Homo-oligomer: A and B are copies of this chain.
Amino acid sequence: QRRGIPEAILAEGKSTADVVALAEAALETTDRALVTRATETQIEALETELTVSFPDATVERRGSTVRATTDGFEESSLEATVGIVTAGTVDGPVADETEVVCADAGATVDRIDDVGVAALDRTLDQVDRLRDADVLVVAAGREGALPTVIAGLVDTPVIAVPVASGYGHGGDGEAALAGMLQSCTVLSVVNIDAGFVAGAQATLIARAIDDART
């Protein structure tokens, strides 16, 4: 756990048996397991089987993310706030992944939903909360302009997450990704739907700030 962020298990593309085995190994060695992008079948298997092999385990699910801890696990704590912003309902599950990672690291999470640029007032109403965060993650698909608009309103580092929530030309997240890379304000970008990576990068920044604070 060199990087100060949990080694997550990427469930996608793996057999259910493999995912459970990897989660059990993580619980065995670190008292915690974090699984992302899991299917319903994989989630059910994790919920059932982890509580059998680790009777003291707590297994929590959030969207397609599963987090399990055993009694021995010591929760981290971090004196820093990550603001997590979504443009609309469809961006929620990706932001949930970010939230799980940051919370796991002990950061304070401030989640701000539904502030799309089509109704700018709602965005402007949140400027104070946006400015109070130490680092911002902004997830958006058809509202790919949102991170640009937000980065223009704050002095905080912004990490943009393109979401595959449109249809037609570039609707698989490519339009959002390209727009974010071309942004005329300052931000950096992660892969399409990579809520986990955004959360991990935000955690690294939050931890550096926390280190400097304490």
Residues of A whose CB lies within 8 Å of any CB of B are: 2-5, 10, 12-14, 18, 22, 37, 87-90, 116-120, 124, 134-135, 141-145, 148-149, 151-157, 159, 162, 164-171, 173-179, 181-194, 197-198, 200-201, 204-205, 207-210, 212-213
Contact = CB atoms under 8 A, between A and B. Distances in A.
14 contacts: A10-B90, A14-B90, A87-B184, A119-B152, A120-B149, A156-B208, A157-B201, A157-B208, A167-B193, A167-B194, A171-B182, A171-B191, A188-B201, A189-B190
A87 B143 CA distance: 18
A122 B155 CA distance: 18
B181 A186 contact: no
A195 to B, nearest CB: 11
A184 B166 CA distance: 9
A90 B204 contact: no
B208 A3 contact: no
Given A169-B177, A171-B182, A179-B145, A155 B3 contact: yes
Copies in the complex: 8
A154 B3 CA distance: 7
Contacts of A120: 120, 124, 149, 152-153
Contacts of A143: 148, 184
Given A173-B168, A201-B186, A201-B187, A117 B178 contact: no
B186 A168 contact: no
A73 to B, nearest CB: 21
A181 B188 contact: no
Contacts of A87: 184
Contacts of A4: 155
A47 to B, nearest CB: 20
Given A145-B145, A169-B173, A169-B178, 14 more contacts: A3-B186, A5-B186, A14-B90, A118-B152, A120-B149, A142-B183, A143-B184, A156-B204, A166-B182, A169-B177, A179-B179, A181-B190, A189-B189, A210-B212
